[in-house]
Amino acid sequence: MQQFISDLKAAGIGEIKTNERLAPYTTWKIGGPADILIVPNSKEQAAGAIRFLHERGVPWTVIGRGSNLLVRDKGIRGVVIKLGPTLDTLRFEGTTVYAGASYSFIKLSVLAAKEGLTGLEFASGIPGSVGGAVYMNAGAHGSDVSRILKQAEVILDTGELVVMQAEDLKYAYRHSILHTLPGIVTEAVFELQAGDRNEIAGAMAAYRDRRLRTQPLQLACAGSVFRNPEGGYAAKLIEEAGLKGKRVGGAEISTLHANFIVNTGDASAEDVLTLIGEVQEIVLNKYNVRLVPEVLVMGER
């Protein structure tokens, strides 16, 4: 292991940390350690890291801002890659927006609004990175990334840097081809439309006010836990089943929004997973609806 770490450091592919606890890197504040955490500070370093690991057959995982992620208590074996701050970039060219993978999706929506560009209002409450949003086809309020993405720059698992058009990503509800074709998004290009600044600001303010009233934003959580079933809402089913406030250890179904599980202070990943399973079982038995989690679960059981 020491020789491997020495070789990593010699490769000049960014900051290297060992046995790094991942809880601080997730919005749930839950998760065991990564054997090795690499923080590349450029797309070139990221591509170099992937090539290095590919040549040696070492498994790797990428994380963004950790807003839709549950890391298991035993952590993640192999290498975890987290893109560094130099990929926190943004530029506007007319109605076209170029955003680095590390850029905040919420901040992007706010600055697009200030530019008088419409299409990103839905992103004003999605606390992830641009790269994560592209990967997950993040969405809200009847819209999602697939409606505005033009193309994305992606490092494939061989280390090759390619440009994928929106149609290449095979978007579906909270899904892209990147779920089965390992890769790291380094930049996204969005095509927006010119709009009225006041109307855009009004829509975003309404979304913000609704979030503050209905979501437990003051507690550690990961956003919506379950996908909405076809023709319905997961939160409605969970609430009608009387599950608001249900707890397992330090994990609790929010009393404010039934599709949020909050960390009350000392929740483990096992607490969250047990609570997810109990919710699924109760809703299935009560309504014959199988709820599917939309959060990503990573790590060793």
Tell me which residues are annotated as active site: 174, 224, 294
Q: What are phi and psi of 119, to 5 degrees?
A: 130, -20
Q: Give Cα separations from 234 to 127, 257, 258, 290 (angstroms).
A: 20, 10, 8, 10
CA dihedral for 105, 107, 109, 115, sign (positive or negative) = negative
Helix (H, G, I), strand (E, B) or coil at 127: coil
Q: Are 164 and 189 in contact (CB under 8 A)?
A: no
Element (H, E) at 201: helix 197-214
As beta bridge partners, residue 153 has 163, 187
Kindly give the interhelix angle for 105-114 and 197-214, rounded to the nearest 10 degrees.
150
- Which residues 6+ apart lie within 8 Å of 155 measured at CB? 43, 46, 47, 50, 161, 162, 183, 184, 186
15/287 Cα distance (integer angstroms):
49
Partners of 144 in the beta sheet?
A: 139
